[in-house]
Amino acid sequence: MNYTETEIQNILNLYSKKKEYEKQRYELIKDTDEFKMKNRMRAKTHYDNNKEKKLQQYQDNKDILNAKSSYYYYFKNNKLEKFKEKNIQKYELLKSINFIE
């Protein structure tokens, strides 16, 4: 698909006009009660549908989050050597995911 320069400019102009129209439309309806209720219902439905997925994602990353938290604590207190000595497994885990070198 080869476009000429004028066709490209036309496509870009149409895109920018559409974006501007959508922005103006959003600005008009964002404070209406109907829009707010629809948006809340959409968000609640998304939350209800993906609750288990988020929980599973947290469970999968639990060890990594715990290791990062410990690392940040020791880093903040300038005791990284102590972290390496006390938490060898956490240190190795962080190295394996290339979080630290």
Encode pLDDT of 27-60 as tens digits. 999 999 999 999 999 999 999 999 999 999 999 8
End-to-end CA distance of the chain: 45
Q: How many residues would you count in the chain?
A: 101
Structure tokens at 98: 């290339």
Tell me the pTM.
Answer: 0.53
Provide the pLDDT for residue 101: 80
For residue 60, what is the DSSP state? H
Give the whole-angstrom CA distance, residue 74 versus residue 84.
9
Whether 90 and 70 have beta carbons less than 8 Å apart is answered as yes
